[in-house]
Structure 1
Amino acid sequence: MHDLRYPAKPRPGDRVAVVSPSTALPAIFPHVHELGLRRLRDELGLEPVEYPTTRQWQADPRDRARDLNAAFADPTITAVLATVGGDDQVTVIPHLDDEVLRANPKPFFGYSDNTNLLNHLYGLGIVGYHGGSVLVHLGRPVEMHPTSLDSLRAALFTSGWYDLAPADEWGDEPGDWQDPAGLDRPSTMFPGTGWSWHGPAHTVEGPVWGGNLEILSRILQAGRVGPSESYAGSVFLMETSEELPSDVEVYRMLRNLGERGLLAGFPAVLVARAKAWDFAKPNNQEQKQAYAEAQRAAVLRALSEYAPDTVAVFDLDIGHTDPQLIVPYGGTARVDAVNRSISVRY
């Protein structure tokens, strides 16, 4: 097991880095980005600091890495937040200065393609934070979702245990960022469905590892995951993106994790609510339900074949849907299948 350490937390009034290690969507949607920055200041009391590639479209991976190195090295910066995800952060990781990161550990917040950096920090022994996006969550239309805001505030400023809970409402149909007036229209939301539990009734406690399944698969292909036994005892977090991978693809990716020996080492798996709608695939409610059920069946099939004694919890608000709870990546999670509760230590 990795010897992981929690970085020191920021305080209200601190300067925090806002970076684009993946896609610099602030360059295309500055109105959404500016709203997110205002909420960082007004809702959380933090002073955002942008870097040269934060709004630079298709910046060279070496330049994006240079900004990350600078953000971690700057003693006046107390946390680092990603603006959004993308699909090529795998090309940025080789240019990071690991000595700088180790010497200056800071809380990093991101998800989706930022699974690359979260996994890299994990390998350096630094706890990161899966979740939070300046554009998606801070820049949410009308207001930040209270559930997202409460979790983000707790993850930023506190270090104790935080109880995750099923959301009363959820959504996966975001507004169109190309329409500035969309920021004034409420998000489409649906009644909460609660969590779904599978597996034995016992309690599991361990460090969190995993992330976006599509990105994790690419990280494995790039050879940037350690020996499988070093992750044994971890709580596996998995979520899927707006790419809407099929149930067949999800099963095959998990099967590969099983063949590698990873799945058998996870005593618990936290599965995010499946995002089942995208502008390119505007599924109706029946189609979304069918997609989510097929994905759940794929996960359960893989677990039955490779990790039959694993506790699995589905429909957590920890992925690409709204609201979003923050999970400490490398930090401790407690999954209590007896009382059906989940807590994480921020």
Structure 2
Amino acid sequence: MPPQFTTPPPLEPGSRIAVVAPSRPIDESRRNRACQRLRETFGLEPVIFETARRDWEWLRDNSRARAEDIVDAFEDPSIDGVIAVTGGDDQIRVLKHLDPERLTANPTRFYGFSDNDNLRLFLWNHGIVSYGATLHPTLILDPEIHPYTERYLRRAFFDDALGVVEPAPEWTDRWFDFDTGEPREWYENPGRTWHGDERVSGTLWGGCFSIVKWHLQTDRYLPTPDELDGAILALETSEDVPLPREVGYTLRSMGERGLLQRFDGLVMGRPQTYSPELEWEPPADYGEQLREAVLSVLSEYNPEATAVFDVEFGHADPSVPLPLGAKATLDPTAEEIHVE
């Protein structure tokens, strides 16, 4: 069975929220832009911790200090929440320096995704629910924060649960041009795709596909197989845009390890298919290919699982800060996702 989870107390208007950099930093102007939105849109007071003021070279060479900043923020009695400035590609190096006893003694709402899913999976192992949002990109893109993102981020800040995760009316994976500030191109939401007909409930585990893959490879921070019994696997593929077959290979390996069979359900985020640094051009039907690759593996190792694809979480926008460790219910008949 999964561990017993604590959902840290919600924030309130006027709460102080620590700004930390467990992964990479962002420049001061973007940090200030995001902090301004925390104040003006949500009524929160950001507190800039040491790592959020440092450059990448310093952060790269001081993984222990990054861990200490996280723990210090959790232990600070004046702090009600902790938010990461952005993602990155090395946070797994930070985990060995964390003191789980200090974190569990001071459960605090943590917000982060992408590389920060390393920390979120660590918190999952110790029974602390955490949320998928960062300063950049969640709070900083577009001339105004998207109403859908704002609605669910507000719930993640101030409510005990996200409730029903409704489909967004539109979506995009285009890059925002900070130099011009021009609005991005948005597309009509084609809807979600459901597989299976059983209503299932379970604890959310997973996050960014790349990070889950690292944890499978290192095998240092995985739950025991029994702890995943009845859980809901949540995956999103980030701006890495992995080949669909690579996602299938990883899920197949989970099946061979006896892990994939443990989950009662699967939630796949709508894939991002554009990045200026991408070394290949994804096909127009990338999402369909990804879904087919995933369903092919599920049909062999976990055919009874209920799955839903193109959900609003991850790197495409708008996004829901899906909380790892929270209980989710997938209802294919009502085509509804509910997160407690």
TM-score, normalised by the number of residues in structure 2: 0.95
d(CA) in 2 for partners of 1:257 and 1:18? 35
| 1:207 equivalent among 203, 209, 218 | 203
What amino acid is the match of 1:216?
V
1:12 aligns with 2:13: yes
| 1:100 equivalent among 90, 99, 102 | 102
* Closer/same/farther in 2, CA of residues 47 and 232 from structure 1, 3 Å limit: same
What amino acid is the match of 2:237?
T
What amino acid is the match of 1:73?
E
Q: How many residues align?
A: 334
Counterpart position of 2:223: 226
> Which range moved further: 29-38 or 110-119?
29-38
Uncovered stretches (5+) of structure 1, i.e. residues with no partner: none
8 Å contact kept, 1:277–1:288 = no
| C-alpha deviation, 1:282, in angstroms | 9.1
| C-alpha deviation, 1:298, in angstroms | 1.1
1:289 aligns with 2:284: yes
Give the 3-state SS of the residue equivalent to 1:54 in structure 2: helix
What amino acid is the match of 2:165?
L
d(CA) in 1 for partners of 2:244 and 2:189? 23
d(CA) in 1 for partners of 2:264 and 2:101? 33
Matches for 1:153-232 after TM superposition, within 5 Å? 153-160=154-161, 162-176=163-177, 180-182=178-180, 184-199=181-196, 201-223=197-219, 224-232=221-229
8 Å contact kept, 1:229–1:262 = no
TM-score, normalised by the number of residues in structure 1: 0.93
- Cα displacement string for residues 130-177 of structure 1 (whole angstroms, at most 9, x for unaligned residues): x2121101101201111011000011101145111111110001224x
Identity of aligned residues (%): 38
* Closer/same/farther in 2, CA of residues 192 and 283 from structure 1, 3 Å limit: farther
Give the 3-state SS of the residue equivalent to 1:113 in structure 2: helix
Matches for 1:99-138 after TM superposition, within 5 Å? 99-129=101-131, 131-138=132-139
| 1:43 equivalent among 20, 41, 44 | 41
| 1:252 equivalent among 232, 249, 254 | 249
Counterpart position of 1:319: 314
8 Å contact kept, 2:240–2:278 = no
Counterpart position of 2:265: 268
* Closer/same/farther in 2, CA of residues 298 and 157 from structure 1, 3 Å limit: same
d(CA) in 2 for partners of 1:30 and 1:194? 37
- Comparing both structures, which one devotes a greater share of its residues to strand? 1
Give the 3-state SS of the residue equivalent to 1:314 in structure 2: strand
d(CA) in 1 for partners of 2:327 and 2:284? 31
d(CA) in 1 for partners of 2:74 and 2:137? 23
Uncovered stretches (5+) of structure 2, i.e. residues with no partner: none
- Cα displacement string for residues 215-248 of structure 1 (whole angstroms, at most 9, x for unaligned residues): 1110122221022121110111000111111112
Give the 3-state SS of the residue equivalent to 2:204 in structure 1: strand
